[in-house]
Structure 1
Amino acid sequence: MLHYAIVFLIIAIIAAIFGFGGIAGTAAGIAKILFIIFLILAVISFFRRKT
């Protein structure tokens, strides 16, 4: 999941450099959502492993 977030972030940066604002915004939004999902799953996994 983190891998996909980083990939979309790189796509967003490259699209922004070349001037594709819509694609960059969409890719950045997807990267942000995937990173938040990754963080939530990581916290859940951490607490489930502790108990």
Structure 2
Amino acid sequence: MLYWTLVFLVIAIVAGFLGFAGLAGLAASVAKIIFVIFLVVFVISLITGRRRP
């Protein structure tokens, strides 16, 4: 999942450099959403991993 975040981040940077403001904004938004989902899943896995005996 972190891989896809980095892919969309690179797409946003390249699109912003080339002047495609709409595409860059969309790709950056998708990257932010996927990154937040990754963080939530990571924290949940840390919490549940510590509960096992």
> TM range, normalised to the smaller chain?
over 0.9
Q: What is the TM-score when the length of structure 2 is the normalising length?
A: 0.95
Hey, which bits of structure 1, 4+ residues long, moved more than 6 A?
Answer: none
Deviations 1:5-47 (Å, cap 9, x if unpaired)? 0000000000000000000000000000000000000000000
- Note the aligned Cα RMSD (angstroms): 0.2
* 5+ residue gaps, structure 1: none
Q: What is the TM-score when the length of structure 1 is the normalising length?
A: 0.99
Question: Match of 2:8?
Answer: 8
Question: Match of 1:47?
Answer: 47
Between the aligned residues of both structures, percent identity stands at 51
- For 2:49 and 2:42, the matched residues in 1 are separated by 11
Q: How many residues align?
A: 51
